[in-house]
Amino acid sequence: MESRIHNINVVAKTDMPTPEEVKQALPLDAATEKSVVGSRRVLQDILDGRDARLFAVVGPCSIHDIDAARDYAGRLKLLADEVADTIVILMRVYFEKPRTTVGWKGLINDPDMDDSFNVEKGIGQARELLLHLSRLGLPTATEALDPIMPQYLGDLVTWTAIGARTTESQTHREMASGLSTPVGFKNGTDGSLDVAINALKSAVQPHHFMGINQQGRTAVFQTRGNPYGHVVLRGGGGRPNYDSVSIALCEQELDKAGLPQRIVVDCSHANSNKDHNLQPLVARDCVEQVVNGNRSILGLMLESNINAGSQKLGDDISKLEYGVSVTDACIDWEATETTLRRAREHLLPAIQGRKIA
């Protein structure tokens, strides 16, 4: 008999394996754990000023094709080794996509891209890819959207973003306070810094909140606060915010809030006027600021894929073009190589001359 008071708008539910069960099926071995812990420590050193290099989060806007992602990762690993003396590269592996209204919600939610929402399959594919990347020695970066998902995947992630639409969410600020990775909070979609600054002030503090444990049981978590939060500038309100004046204003706001001057610039979104071809120009401007003495810009983000642009997701996914984004448009592999090699060449003297804290 249907209840007249409980779950009246729910038509079905599917039980999921627990985080513990998923990790038993796809375990983290000792060597991979060492790789993840080591890459997190490198980022902490960059954020603390003990490592003079920059870091760059580079990769597709979203992962939809595992084979293409592995192909891209192989290329990125070679490039990462090439520029490692100046830039620490992390692969962008975004499995969840926030939606203003409706649309494809990402690999975890809909791995078959047909509205079948086989979430168990999606989690398995995401974890398998993260394991592959970690075994390659390629650190990973992702966006934390569903607050339950870090229990399934968080042990394989080096850097976490909180998106512009969720930076204002108290749930995500509390979650960030307990994450084991450095966390970048994006400024608001209107370009304002207030939400990111407030998020940083919140996430560095201890919190109590509800979630699930490794056995899938509801639990109350107590956190100590995350000391490695930072701002990610992505522009907004129809204007960019990566220029030297905007960076200086952000530094002032961080100082005023008693927060470290740690800034990452997202070269996409409003900073490139949503034109993927402008991302290299944004990166070049930020590199120039570092070369000229800026100490607050610590990282960059590039939306990059094997082939340039984006494509619509139709009814027949077999017709999708290989290595082309199905969400935001990306620069192609050639532009990615050129951008990062030029950045490395330009940065090298400045990085070598920087004093370490």
Running along the chain, 357 residues long, what does each successive block of 10 average in pLDDT? 82 94 97 97 98 98 98 98 98 86 86 94 98 97 96 98 96 98 97 97 98 97 98 96 98 98 98 97 98 97 98 90 97 98 96 74
User: At a CB cut-off of 8 Å and minimum separation 6, what does 99 contact?
Assistant: 105
Which CATH architecture best describes the domain 19-353? Answer: Alpha-Beta Barrel (3.20)
For the record, the structure tokens of 257 come out as 């809030």
Of 206, 253, 254, 250, the closest CA to residue 227 belongs to: 206
With residue 209 as reference, give the H or E element that holds it.
Answer: strand 208-212
**What type of residue is 133?**
L
Residue 268 contacts residue 279 (beta carbons within 8 Å)? yes
What pLDDT is attached to residue 4? 83
Q: Cα 241 from chain centroid?
A: 19
pTM: 0.96
CA–CA gap between residue 191 and residue 263 (Å, rounded): 15
Which distant-in-sequence residues (6+ apart) come within 8 Å of 355 by Cβ?
none
pLDDT value of position 3: 76
